[in-house]
Copies of this chain bind each other. A is one copy, B any other.
């Protein structure tokens, strides 16, 4: 599709290709599991293709969804989004991979393009949730994202790293969800449309150029595999047993708490008649809760939790 095609259509094509590339790479890495696709249509307009791998060798459950929906915003959605009018189009790719091994981190990523009336903007990011924190892995993840950001705007990484730390946080636990990454929203929506939206910060001058922002979004989408796959390769053969599995299942409980209590996409999607199974494909396959569980002081679990709570500047040299 030529550069002259509308941005929304070029974004859709990028998202379709990204989903294909990630699925191919993850199937190759897993070696045994295959993604199964559910193609669906939205009654109000548009549709998507949800792909889930269940019971892979490496991945206990991996979900990656593409969607491109349009129509009229429901009132609660219209109130919550920047811009005006009820006509909208939203396209993107969203993924959450739950590895079987407690030594391999869970990863989440999302890239999206939203259009409403005369406004359009990009949002997304990716964040890593290790159950056992290996500092070199967190550093690799963050440096990969910093490099991708820096090629577009040197202000992006520090700003979006902080935004990620603020967003993926469980206030009732006073705990971050993991070691973070980057998160951004309303990129390119313009200052007047985003008044009152987080974060209350000066936006970059590049934000007036939709083509530059689309290039940045592609850089983020393309960086996901580069940031995550080497960590999977490094950790996939690390030993674990019942103790590590129990810790993983308890930490997955926190993931569920975040997604159902705070994640805007999940809560909003479920309250506004989104496709339930596509929204909840993010849920871990198996989870535990134990009353007042706390890791033994000095244990690997306690150290990992402390490293997560410290919200370090993982990319720093």
Contact = CB atoms under 8 A, between A and B. Distances in A.
Contacts of A277: 291-292
A173 interface: yes
Interface string A255-285: 0110011000001001100001100110111
Given A173-B276, A260-B256, A260-B257, A284 B289 contact: yes
Contacts of A253: 283
The DSSP consensus for interface residues of chain A is mixed
A276 B257 CA distance: 12
Contacts of A257: 260, 280
Given A289-B285, A292-B277, A270 B261 contact: yes
Contacts of A283: 253, 289
A35 to B, nearest CB: 11
Contacts of A285: 288-290
A287 interface: yes
Contact of A267 (B261, B281, B289): B261
Which size bracket describes the interface of A in this complex? 20 to 34
Interface string A25-44: 00000000000001000000
A116 interface: no
Given A172-B270, A260-B257, A276-B172, A291 B281 contact: yes
A127 to B, nearest CB: 20
Given A256-B260, A281-B291, 20 more contacts: A38-B292, A52-B291, A54-B291, A63-B291, A173-B276, A253-B283, A256-B287, A257-B260, A257-B280, A260-B260, A260-B261, A261-B267, A277-B292, A280-B289, A283-B289, A285-B288, A285-B289, A285-B290, A287-B288, A287-B289
A276 B261 CA distance: 13
Interface in A199-218: none
A302 to B, nearest CB: 17
A298 to B, nearest CB: 22
Contacts of A280: 257, 289
Nearest to A172: B270
